[in-house]
Amino acid sequence: MDPWGHLAPWTFAGIMEQENVDLRPTIAITKAHMKLPELQESVKRGRLVPDGKVCLNELGELAVTKFAVEPVWYLPGVAERFGIDEATLRRSLFEHTGGSYPELITRGDIKIFLPPIGGLTVYCFGDPARMSDPSARLSLRIHDECNGSDVFGSDICTCRPYLIFGIEEAVKEAQNGGSGVVIYFRKEGRALGEVTKVLVYNARKRGADRASDYFTRTENIAGVKDMRFQALMPDILHWLGIQKIDRMLSMSNMKHDAIVGQGIPIHERVELPDELIPADSRVEIDAKITAGKFDRL
């Protein structure tokens, strides 16, 4: 990530004016309102109570601080974290992008790379300063994009139900004086893309759709089970100043291990309640539990 982030236009204002440099930030922050039909239903059922601050009204409209973040890689640091030398990383990036970035090879003095991958959005409920306050409780959901479910309501997976559950729990934490955070990563189809995901869905439809074959089908089509770079995921948590997570609203061992491995303790892991799991997504959730995605012990 860019350590200057959203402050870059102010930090380098003098250079921009004196040298006529067009300098753009890789992070932008705004305040907004969020309105989702499930949240209105949560208010009707009494799971969410409007307080006029976080949950604004009977429609379930939420006040949120939104951080949009584009990825920035410091190549020596990324290479060190993956246990390889910088030259190997540069060559690999050059080859796997079809030679689109020749400066990776020709300009060793340029240590920064803007990777052609999706960014992320942070949705913070409550006072953003509470995120870095060790005395305040923090509920967090790390969510990887799933267009079919998140946007269009597909019930073949639990992505939207878990996202809505994460938002609702984050709001409750903020209303109780803590901080609630949902971080949305653009990693469609485990970062393999939507075309690959649809091919996997078709393979599941043609054969017996069993939990035991769930990850094998992805591997047969894409060559790997997952491409999400979870080792880099916790960078945003450090930038936000998060020092511990009281409630991690996720069943993913990969996300848990990446966060804990970077020195941020997780005190409790919260699974998706059974009543929120769509019937057609049972194969997906059972496969993840069987593969050790979540340990109930």
**Closest listed residue to residue 127, CA positions, set 296, 37, 240, 259:** 240
The pLDDT confidence band at residue 297, using thresholds 50, 70 and 90, is very low
Among 3-12, 42-51, 206-215, whose mean pLDDT is lowest? 206-215
Q: What is the pTM of this model?
A: 0.92
211 pLDDT above the threshold of 80: no
The residue annotated as part of the active site, out of 228, 235, 247, 269, is: 228
Determine contact, residues 135/149, Cβ cutoff 8 Å: no
Percent of the chain exceeding pLDDT 70 equals 96
Per-residue pLDDT, averaged over 254-272, amounts to 96
Residues 289, 251: Cα–Cα separation, whole Å: 8
* Strands in 138-283 per DSSP E: 138-144, 179-185, 247-248
185: three-class secondary structure by DSSP: strand
Give per-residue pLDDT as tens, 74-104: 999 999 999 999 999 999 999 999 999 999 9
Determine contact, residues 281/157, Cβ cutoff 8 Å: yes
Give per-residue pLDDT as tens, 119-156: 999 999 999 999 999 999 999 999 999 999 999 999 88
Residues 144, 3: Cα–Cα separation, whole Å: 23
- How far is C-alpha 121 from the geometric centre of its chain's CA atoms? 8
Give per-residue pLDDT as tens, 217-228: 888 888 888 888
Angle among Cα 32, 38, 41 to the nearest 5 degrees reads 110
What was the pLDDT predicted at 217?
82
- Examine the residue annotation and report whether 141 is marked as an active-site residue of this protein: no
Among 15-19, 82-86, 160-164, 203-207, whose mean pLDDT is lowest? 203-207
The residue annotated as part of the active site, out of 213, 226, 246, 286, is: 226
- Examine the residue annotation and report whether 228 is marked as an active-site residue of this protein: yes
Residue 124: DSSP 8-state: E
Residues 112, 86: Cα–Cα separation, whole Å: 12
Are β-strands 179-185 and 247-248 bridged in parallel, bridged antiparallel, or unpaired? unpaired
